[in-house]
Structure 1
């Protein structure tokens, strides 16, 4: 009798199903892997995130072997095929026979035993005939980006129109890399943190364009690094937003959409007090836990609040790290590319305008409003700031002098970090001064 599917593969399929039902990828994985030990959970994460990352490529391959195309398949069956294909293509530690047989058992466990022969046949054919064909990048760059590049067609089209085919392809390739581990030390210099980590036999590297960040190469884990130095896990793009904000030393600051809290803690290095607001009590607990872990529980306080109706008095500076499509973080959140749609740009722009209006009302005359996103899309970035300034007198863009490398600023002085150029997450920020 064949063995049933492993617990890790069952959890992977559960995470995929939760995602189809509307759960964010990281939350779906968290719920599906509860109670699993660390190594098993890491294997499941590699399988789930890797499948999300290469879903467009995998779907193109599967579609060539499915008689009626993958659009005709039940959701569980298609997800089993995607997970099996990723194991065959990318997980060298998994023997091909195990990838196939475990996928057959997994589709049976999912209540779709009628498709076991189909799953077996498609994956066996993939293994026997691995010379897959993809659209030519020169003749059809959009289809190449959609399939080999594994990005939705609508994004491929807009990125090629904006940057050209070569840079759009570089962006897709950057998104398809596994994210690296970075930390941002708190209350100590990166040099001192590096030395302290070295004493604990943990390697750490400076990041030339992000002076507040350290790269932690494998095999060290985030938990190991955070046990040695006070820090938060944070991509250099996010650390650059805090650096660019350059809030007044000793001032009162509000972080209006704060969870998970890395930027709020970064602001706390200069600010006197930071009010970290977020609509989600669950996510706000992470802010409080991080603040207490680094000993800043009194400096950074959490407030459950809707950023559109903030319960605060005017302060010296406000950071609005606005909800967005997250197109700059597809390497870190690979499910995001399959979750967002063109309609999201319109709905999020309306929300971003509402939040900007509310945030502006919290800034004292002469104070600062810093608007940021992890999006690459002009509708969420430059166009929002252009509209804000067109609708309001008494505000101006005021980039901080000499704080970030000039190559990271656009002609208007706004921060623009791009994955295909800097090799980290994407980020945008505009530092606005309310004229006294």
Structure 2
């Protein structure tokens, strides 16, 4: 079990519910948690300051930070909190809307895993119960459960500290089958830790690491392990010297090699980190994505960075380029289980059926995109998934079905010598448990798979 989260933002007191400081923030957190876990709403959309949850948008900056902290903790620790709650309750809560359960999850996240005074978490939860007719009958239960959790905190944390609880059982069992017990536990343990802030630099990664007080990872990434505060206030942001991108996500573009002056298709391009890399490498890039709104964000990022790419909003299933590409980067739609540390809602939003469905989409896109590649060209296929069906098995099936395709193995020097990231077949496979550091939260990578495929010259 990792230590409780320190430095949680304090409520401002300016946006409390009816004079109760911090209550509006807890109310927003409870509502959003229900929408994310019960209705499948992406967390990022709910906490968008412009288009997100109404209660969240009404908060001031400090209370928004508190909501994000509570939700991150409640989702990261959801498996543990669910098991703890089951042990603290004599029987399941009969209330069907989930509002009481969400309120308890928010309260337990603060009491057990955050630097929030226990009495504040309990008192606000009880007051919220009093003001919601659905909760009123459970006011005594909420009070008793949260107070017991505060009293028995040390024993509870010791009893429910297994990292396996960081993911749904079906998902952890998949990782165990794919990577073995020890690695599966290591993956789950990293998901309990807040992610680092990784920046991809256009040039001079060592110089920017020194300026920003970070560490260089691989070839082009600067990691800021202890960063807090607005990203746009960091040195180099306004000058377009770097952009936010996990170190693992920066690796697939590097596998295309020297692409200066080449015509490159960036497929499923948004939000645009890989597009920026390709453009910075001197390629003539066409960025294609189905989401026009996400492409607008990509366009804004490129403008800030002083980079250019042709941008096309379309469904790849109905798209054909005017002429073949010399290189293609296909970052295919996937379950995104490799990003759970960064997006903890993913663990509780996906199902085995999602993985099966997305693997079929990847199969179709792989076959289609390969026909757009010039003879002698190179394609990199990647997914931010930990699931072999969306990585190793997908590429093996493609190679077996495509006579003019061949795997081009990845060499350690191409990825900056990151240890353990190349499979026996020569593909790239990063895991959250790679890149160990002390303290542990300063290490790790998103889970990514990438394979480099060459097309026969004809």
> TM-score, length-normalised on structure 2?
0.85
Find the counterpart in structure 2 of residue 154 from structure 1.
170
Give the match's secondary structure for 2:268. Answer: coil
Indicate if the aligned counterparts of 2:420 and 2:434 stay in contact, CA closer than 8 A.
no
Instruction: Quote the offset at 1:108 in angstroms.
Output: 4.0
CA distance in 2, matches of 1:6, 1:164: 44
Is residue 350 of structure 2 the alignment partner of residue 340 of structure 1?
A: yes
1:240 shift after superposition: 1.3
Q: For residue 191 of structure 2, what is the aligned residue in structure 1?
A: 175
Is residue 2:421 matched to residue 1:421? no
Distance 1:9 1:115 in 2: 17
The offset of 1:107, in angstroms, is 3.4
2:220 to 209, 212, 217: 212
**Which of 135, 143, 156 pairs up with 1:132?**
156
| Conserved? CA contact 1:399–1:413, under 8 Å | yes
Structure-1-length-normalised TM-score: 0.90
Is residue 2:133 matched to residue 1:116?
Answer: no
Instruction: Tell me: CA distance 1:318–1:81, structure 2 relative to 1, closer, same or farther (3 Å).
Output: same
Q: Structure 1 residues 34-43 or 20-29, which shifts more?
A: 34-43
Contact 1:63/1:70 (<8 A) preserved: no
List aligned pairs for 1:143-292, cutoff 5 A: 144-146=162-164, 149-186=165-202, 188-195=203-210, 198=211, 202-207=212-217, 210-216=218-224, 217-219=226-228, 221-225=230-234, 226-227=237-238, 229-246=240-257, 248-292=259-303
Matched residue of 1:8: which SS? Answer: helix
Please give the alpha-carbon distance, in whole angstroms, between the structure 1 residues aligned to 2:301 and 2:70. Answer: 28
Q: What's the offset of the Cα at 1:73?
A: 5.5
Are residues 1:76 and 2:85 paired? no
Distance between the aligned counterparts of 1:35 and 1:246, measured in 2? 47
Larger displacement relative to structure 2 (391-400 or 55-64)? 391-400
- Contact (CA 8 Å) 1:395, 1:433: kept in 2 or not? yes
**Aligned residue in 2 for 1:355:** 365
Consecutive unaligned residues in structure 1, runs of 5 or more: 138-143
Q: CA deviation at 1:23?
A: 1.2
Q: Secondary structure at the match of 1:403?
A: helix
SS in 2 for 1:416: strand
CA contact (8 A) 1:16 1:28 kept: no
- Give the Cα–Cα distance (whole angstroms) in 2 for the partners of residues 107 and 277 of structure 1: 48
How far the C-alpha of 1:415 sits from its partner, in A, is 0.6
Describe the SS at the equivalent of 1:3. coil
| Structure 1 residue 134 displacement after superposition | 7.2
Matched residues in 2 for 1:107 and 1:309: separation?
51
What's 1:372 paired with?
Answer: 382
Q: CA deviation at 1:224?
A: 2.2
Q: Deviations over 1:322-366 (max 9, x none)?
A: 111111111000000001111112101111111112211211111
- Pick aligned residue for 1:304 from 287, 309, 313: 313
RMSD: 2.2
Distance 1:304 1:111 in 2: 46
Number of residue equivalences: 417
CA-CA distance at 1:109 after TM superposition? 4.2
Q: Which runs of 5+ in 2 are unaligned?
A: 1-17, 436-443
- Say if 2:84 is the partner of 1:66: no
Structure 1 residues 189, 44: CA separation in 2 closer, same or farther (over 3 Å shift)?
same
Is 1:395–2:405 an aligned residue pair? Answer: yes
